[in-house]
Amino acid sequence: MAQIQIKPVGYSLGAQITGVDISKPLTEQQILDIKDAWTRHQVLVFPDQDLNPESLLAFSRNFGELDNFSSQPFNRHPDYDEIFMLSNKPINGKVPPGSTGGQNWHTDLSYTIRPAKATLVYCIEKPSVGGDTMFANMYDAYETLSPVLQQFLDGLEAVHDVNLITAKRPPEIVAEFARLNPPVIHPAIRTHPESERKALYVNPRTRRFVGMTEAESATLIKYLSEHAVSPRFVYRHRWSVRDLVMWDNRCLTHLAVGDFDRSEIRHMLRTSTMGDYYGRYEDEATGAEAIKTKGNKDLAKALSLLHD
């Protein structure tokens, strides 16, 4: 069996993986090699892979329990709850409401109490130009702060709020999205369980720091968010059809670049693995209601909004 080849594609983060067909079951050693490369490089690119929904799900399960996207059910694949549509391709004559999603810097599902660990995205169709995705290394963002600011942040917690997502969606979906995802609290600095390195966990979806007002927090959040995406920390992925890109949400932030002709199709499938860390709700009562709602597996009311 051919050995997996690993080639760095960015200075701060990112590597291309070749020599493996991820549409087929992997050996234990292949999985270990991929996990090791993922810990070292944060973003892995598997070019020229022939995947369908079933093989995408099978590959994704090598990296943990899959999310069924109960926190954002509006863009689930019509046949697979564990696949999220990143697409402007109409379904039953209607463009999915998340077609403009991800266009501010963010960490996937940081507005939930169990934010995503791995995100995997498979490219099926792409615009003729543009539609890239950018990734920033949050280890480097933390490690290049002054020791005084590092020490201050080490003791802080931050409130992440789904209402700070900038994607344009129908008002009724925005309201339901917020109801399903009340504000949550996470540490401003997270320690990665495998690398044991500290990473900044603050981005433009952070509303304030616990114990501080929004006004007091705003300048620091803005500084940290801008510092984190300095060019020297960033890898920009230019998609090719049949790319599978896998990234680690525990130590990076990313952005879907909206620089493409919206009359052209950008159609991708996404899976996510459940995180290995739990935050807490800012308000226990609204959090308990959200958990109760998301416990309803079919989420009929939320899903009906897509087809109204």
CATH code where residue 28 lies: 3.60.130.10
Distance from C-alpha of 72 to C-alpha of 55, rounded to nearest angstrom: 23
Number of domains in the chain: 1
- Contact call for residues 269 and 83 (beta carbons, < 8 A): yes
pLDDT at 22: 98
Catalytic pick among 77, 227, 254, 266:
254
Distance from C-alpha of 269 to C-alpha of 119, rounded to nearest angstrom: 11
pTM above 0.75, yes or no: yes
pLDDT at 98: 66
Catalytic pick among 190, 237, 250, 270:
270
* 106 given a catalytic annotation: yes
Q: How many CB atoms lie within 10 A of CB 306?
A: 18
Q: What is the tally of helices (H) and strands (E) in the chain?
A: 8, 16
Q: Quote the domain boundaries for residue 200.
A: 5-307
pLDDT tens for the chain, residues 1 to 308: 568 999 999 999 999 999 999 999 999 999 999 999 999 999 999 999 999 999 999 999 999 999 998 877 878 898 999 999 999 988 778 887 766 677 889 999 999 999 999 999 999 999 999 999 999 999 999 999 999 999 999 999 999 999 898 777 778 878 888 888 899 999 999 999 999 999 999 999 999 999 999 999 999 999 999 999 999 999 999 999 999 999 999 999 999 998 899 899 999 999 999 999 899 999 877 777 777 666 544 333 333 333 33
Distance from C-alpha of 229 to C-alpha of 56, rounded to nearest angstrom: 30
Catalytic pick among 41, 77, 106, 169:
106
> In terms of Cα–Cα distance, which of 6, 118, 122, 146 is closest to 62?
118
φ, ψ for residue 51, nearest 5 deg: -115, 145
Catalytic pick among 33, 67, 77, 108:
108
> In terms of Cα–Cα distance, which of 37, 36, 63, 7 is closest to 276?
63
Distance from C-alpha of 20 to C-alpha of 205, rounded to nearest angstrom: 36
* 242 given a catalytic annotation: no
φ, ψ for residue 237, nearest 5 deg: -95, 125
Residues composing the chain: 308
* 227 given a catalytic annotation: no
* 108 given a catalytic annotation: yes
Say how far residue 225 (Cα) sits from the centre of its chain. Answer: 16
pLDDT at 80: 94
> In terms of Cα–Cα distance, which of 36, 111, 136, 120 is closest to 82?
120
pLDDT at 307: 34
